[in-house]
Structure 1
Amino acid sequence: MPQHDAPRPTAETRLRVSALRQSGETPFLLEPDAQARADLAAGLDIEAVKKLRFEGRIVPRGRNAWELTAKLGATVVQSCIVTLEPVTTRIDAPIIRRYVPASQLAEPEEGSEIEVPEDDSLEPLGEVIDLQTLMHEELALALPAYPRKEGVALDDAQFAADGVAPMTDDDVRPFAGLAALKEKMEKGDGES
């Protein structure tokens, strides 16, 4: 019995929909080089993207629809929001996108409120599936918003000029003083 080899993953960053396999899968694997990772880090305003791998497949779903399933793996370095020291984070994120004709996506009526669709994996099908853009978007979404070095806590921030005692949180609570005054008056100590 002849053995069929699985198709080799493509490293192309933009796949023409007309060139995708109509039966079976179209595998892909993107592993950007050091310069591309440095450019991406600069675009994301982070210190570094040490490793980046985007691997998956695109399979047909009916006549005019495609499903992309992939795994995004990355090691990134960001600045700690407290100490500004480098923080290394490992990201492993599953990705699912369903590309369907734009006519199958609900268009909001003019002047109506726009609701977020329940299925956020739906994308309009164009002539090209841009894997590089998808990889960049998903990495940006997966980045920690407030990276912190392990064991570092965000203390109360205190800002004041030299020689001036900084205000505390209690100083900016105006009703705390009223509660104390009310309590003092109820005890009878508040007679004028």
Structure 2
Amino acid sequence: MTDQPAIPRHIVRLPEVSGRKAHHFDIQPDYAARTAIAAALDINAIKKLRFEGTLTPKGRHDWHFAGHLGATVVQDCVVTFAPVTTRIDQEVERNYLADYSEAASGEVEMPEDDTIEPLPQNLDLAEVMIEALSLALPLFPRAPGVAPLNIDTDPDFDENDGQTRKPFAGLAGLRDKLTKSDGE
């Protein structure tokens, strides 16, 4: 078992932020931390990673988070498995609300504002950075010159005649054939 470096933590204790003034941050993980984050995200490597921004008080209890994520990541091409390097530049915004409440029922409707989250006692900026990076990663990275995959969305559609194949149509013929052979 190899010793995997720990993912860095950058905790801000919101009740302790002095004078409810804006809190500026600039996180630039070192090589070991980037390696740990890449392993957690199941990608080959993170060459560069920087997360900077401001956490600003909003009213008496709420906070507004505005930041910028910059990263250079390496993933496998989904077709050739060759390494693909991608540059990511992403704005990140969150609104942490003290009176946020989640619905108690099993069904939850998506809110119009997807930046709203419940106010935590301790906010881990590294966790926000990793979440933003995971959402910004290309889902299907392709090496230069590799065409997109042609995925057949309807396996029962026959492109030759433009008709939908009936998956059990061949069984009727087989039944008839078996019935004839049993009767002979």
Instruction: Please give the TM-score of this superposition, normalised by the length of structure 1.
Output: 0.72
Deviation string 1:12-38 (CA, Å, 9 cap, x unpaired) is 700001222434311011111101101
Q: In 2 relative to 1, CA 172–128 (structure 1 residues): closer, same or farther, beyond 3 Å?
A: same
- Specify which of 95, 101, 112 is matched with residue 98 of structure 1: 95
TM-superposed deviation, 1:150? 1.7
- Specify which of 145, 148, 160 is matched with residue 142 of structure 2: 148
Structure 2's unaligned 5+ residue stretches are 1-7, 165-184
- Specify which of 61, 71, 83 is matched with residue 74 of structure 1: 71
Q: How does 1:47-66 map to 2 (within 5 A)?
A: 47-66=44-63
TM-superposed deviation, 1:154? 3.7
* Percent identical: 45
Inter-partner Cα distance in structure 1 for 2:163 and 2:9 = 68
The 8 Å contact of residues 25 and 59 in structure 1, kept in 2 or not, is answered as: yes
Supply the AA of the counterpart residue of 2:88. Answer: I
TM-superposed deviation, 1:172? 6.5
SS in 1 for 2:78: coil
Q: Which has the larger radius of gyration?
A: 1
Instruction: Please give the TM-score of this superposition, normalised by the length of structure 2.
Output: 0.75
The ranges of structure 1 where at least 4 consecutive aligned residues each deviate by more than 6 angstroms after the TM superposition are 169-172
Q: In 2 relative to 1, CA 127–109 (structure 1 residues): closer, same or farther, beyond 3 Å?
A: closer
Q: How does 1:152-171 map to 2 (within 5 A)?
A: 152-154=146-148
The 8 Å contact of residues 157 and 163 in structure 2, kept in 1 or not, is answered as: no
The residue aligned with 2:127 is: 133
